[in-house]
Amino acid sequence: MGLWDRLKGVKRPDESTPALERSEVERRLLALSGEQVPFTVRGAGDAEPDSDLEAEWRIVDAEWYEVLAESFQGKTFGSKSFGSGYAFTGVSPRDWGQVYNYRFDVSEMKDPIVEVVTGAGWSFVPVTTKSGLQD
Protein backbone atom coordinates (compact mmCIF):
# COMPACT_ATOMS: atom_id res chain seq x y z
CA MET A 1 0.00 0.00 0.00
CA GLY A 2 1.46 3.29 -1.06
CA LEU A 3 1.31 6.78 0.30
CA TRP A 4 -1.49 7.76 -2.10
CA ASP A 5 -3.70 4.90 -0.80
CA ARG A 6 -3.04 5.97 2.78
CA LEU A 7 -3.98 9.56 2.02
CA LYS A 8 -7.22 8.44 0.35
CA GLY A 9 -8.08 6.08 3.23
CA VAL A 10 -7.78 2.90 1.15
CA LYS A 11 -7.37 -0.32 3.14
CA ARG A 12 -6.23 -3.45 1.29
CA PRO A 13 -6.47 -7.10 2.41
CA ASP A 14 -3.48 -9.33 3.08
CA GLU A 15 -2.21 -10.82 -0.16
CA SER A 16 -2.94 -14.33 1.15
CA THR A 17 -6.64 -13.56 1.78
CA PRO A 18 -8.85 -15.10 -0.93
CA ALA A 19 -11.52 -12.80 -2.42
CA LEU A 20 -15.05 -13.95 -1.59
CA GLU A 21 -18.08 -13.51 -3.82
CA ARG A 22 -19.84 -10.15 -3.73
CA SER A 23 -23.02 -11.71 -2.31
CA GLU A 24 -21.04 -13.15 0.63
CA VAL A 25 -19.40 -9.80 1.38
CA GLU A 26 -22.81 -8.11 1.33
CA ARG A 27 -24.25 -10.82 3.61
CA ARG A 28 -21.41 -10.30 6.11
CA LEU A 29 -21.86 -6.52 6.05
CA LEU A 30 -25.61 -6.83 6.60
CA ALA A 31 -24.90 -9.20 9.50
CA LEU A 32 -23.02 -6.40 11.28
CA SER A 33 -26.35 -4.80 12.22
CA GLY A 34 -27.10 -5.85 15.74
CA GLU A 35 -27.31 -4.72 19.31
CA GLN A 36 -23.50 -4.76 19.75
CA VAL A 37 -22.85 -1.91 17.30
CA PRO A 38 -24.26 1.64 17.23
CA PHE A 39 -25.22 1.47 13.55
CA THR A 40 -27.31 -0.46 11.07
CA VAL A 41 -26.43 -1.67 7.58
CA ARG A 42 -29.26 -1.75 5.08
CA GLY A 43 -29.50 -3.43 1.71
CA ALA A 44 -30.12 -1.92 -1.72
CA GLY A 45 -33.91 -2.06 -1.35
CA ASP A 46 -33.78 0.00 1.84
CA ALA A 47 -30.80 2.23 1.07
CA GLU A 48 -30.55 5.41 -0.95
CA PRO A 49 -31.20 4.94 -4.70
CA ASP A 50 -27.53 5.48 -5.57
CA SER A 51 -26.25 3.00 -2.96
CA ASP A 52 -25.81 -0.75 -2.84
CA LEU A 53 -25.54 -0.75 0.95
CA GLU A 54 -25.84 2.01 3.52
CA ALA A 55 -24.46 2.19 7.05
CA GLU A 56 -26.26 4.60 9.32
CA TRP A 57 -25.86 5.58 12.97
CA ARG A 58 -28.68 4.28 15.12
CA ILE A 59 -30.36 7.17 16.92
CA VAL A 60 -32.47 5.51 19.59
CA ASP A 61 -33.73 8.60 21.39
CA ALA A 62 -35.71 11.06 19.30
CA GLU A 63 -34.27 13.90 21.39
CA TRP A 64 -30.84 13.10 19.90
CA TYR A 65 -32.09 14.16 16.52
CA GLU A 66 -31.67 17.84 17.29
CA VAL A 67 -28.23 17.27 18.82
CA LEU A 68 -26.99 15.33 15.80
CA ALA A 69 -28.86 17.51 13.26
CA GLU A 70 -26.07 20.10 13.57
CA SER A 71 -23.38 17.50 12.78
CA PHE A 72 -21.32 17.27 9.57
CA GLN A 73 -22.78 15.18 6.76
CA GLY A 74 -20.43 13.82 4.14
CA LYS A 75 -17.06 12.14 4.09
CA THR A 76 -15.38 12.07 7.47
CA PHE A 77 -11.77 10.93 7.81
CA GLY A 78 -11.84 10.67 11.56
CA SER A 79 -13.95 12.22 14.22
CA LYS A 80 -14.65 11.83 17.88
CA SER A 81 -17.03 13.98 19.82
CA PHE A 82 -19.05 13.82 22.98
CA GLY A 83 -21.30 16.10 24.91
CA SER A 84 -24.07 16.45 27.37
CA GLY A 85 -26.67 19.09 28.04
CA TYR A 86 -28.57 20.14 31.11
CA ALA A 87 -31.77 22.10 31.28
CA PHE A 88 -34.96 22.57 33.22
CA THR A 89 -37.11 19.52 32.60
CA GLY A 90 -40.29 20.84 34.21
CA VAL A 91 -41.90 23.92 35.67
CA SER A 92 -40.25 23.66 39.06
CA PRO A 93 -36.72 25.07 39.49
CA ARG A 94 -35.84 21.72 41.07
CA ASP A 95 -36.62 19.99 37.78
CA TRP A 96 -33.07 20.45 36.53
CA GLY A 97 -31.23 17.59 34.92
CA GLN A 98 -29.40 16.06 32.05
CA VAL A 99 -31.43 16.11 28.84
CA TYR A 100 -28.89 14.41 26.59
CA ASN A 101 -25.55 12.65 26.73
CA TYR A 102 -23.90 11.40 23.57
CA ARG A 103 -20.64 9.98 22.28
CA PHE A 104 -19.72 9.80 18.58
CA ASP A 105 -16.68 8.00 17.20
CA VAL A 106 -16.47 7.35 13.45
CA SER A 107 -14.15 4.39 14.03
CA GLU A 108 -16.96 2.53 15.85
CA MET A 109 -18.70 2.21 12.49
CA LYS A 110 -15.80 2.29 10.07
CA ASP A 111 -13.48 -0.26 11.73
CA PRO A 112 -15.95 -3.23 11.72
CA ILE A 113 -16.88 -2.48 8.10
CA VAL A 114 -13.23 -2.28 7.01
CA GLU A 115 -12.51 -5.53 8.88
CA VAL A 116 -15.33 -7.38 7.09
CA VAL A 117 -14.36 -6.02 3.66
CA THR A 118 -10.62 -6.68 3.94
CA GLY A 119 -11.23 -10.01 5.71
CA ALA A 120 -13.22 -11.07 2.63
CA GLY A 121 -10.27 -10.31 0.35
CA TRP A 122 -11.62 -7.00 -0.92
CA SER A 123 -10.17 -3.50 -0.69
CA PHE A 124 -11.98 -0.79 1.27
CA VAL A 125 -12.06 2.42 -0.78
CA PRO A 126 -13.99 5.33 0.76
CA VAL A 127 -16.14 7.20 -1.78
CA THR A 128 -18.82 9.86 -1.61
CA THR A 129 -20.58 8.99 -4.90
CA LYS A 130 -20.76 6.00 -7.21
CA SER A 131 -19.84 7.99 -10.33
CA GLY A 132 -16.67 6.63 -11.83
CA LEU A 133 -16.88 3.30 -10.00
CA GLN A 134 -16.99 0.06 -11.96
CA ASP A 135 -18.62 -3.23 -10.87
Residue with the larger pLDDT of the pair 18 and 71: 18
In a domain, 135, yes or no: no
Q: What is the pLDDT of residue 25?
A: 93
Q: Domain of 75? A: 3-119
Q: Cα torsion at 84, 85, 86, 88 (round to 10°)? A: -140
Into how many domains does the chain fold? 1
Note whether residue 37 is domain-resident: yes
Say if 67 falls within a structural domain: yes
Is the CB of residue 41 less than 8 Å from the CB of residue 32?
yes
Amino acid at 51: S
Q: Considering the domain boundaries, does residue 7 fall inside one?
A: yes
> Does residue 127 belong to any structural domain of this protein?
no
Return the percentage of the chain with pLDDT > 70, whole number.
70
What pLDDT digit, counting tens, does each position of 44-90 carry? Answer: 665 556 667 888 876 554 444 454 556 444 445 556 777 777 888 77
- Better-predicted residue by pLDDT, 67 or 26: 26
Considering the domain boundaries, does residue 131 fall inside one?
no
| Alpha-carbon gap, residue 37 to 57, rounded angstroms | 9
Q: Is residue 11 part of a domain?
A: yes
Quote the strand ranges of the chain, DSSP E.
39-42, 54-57, 80-88, 96-105
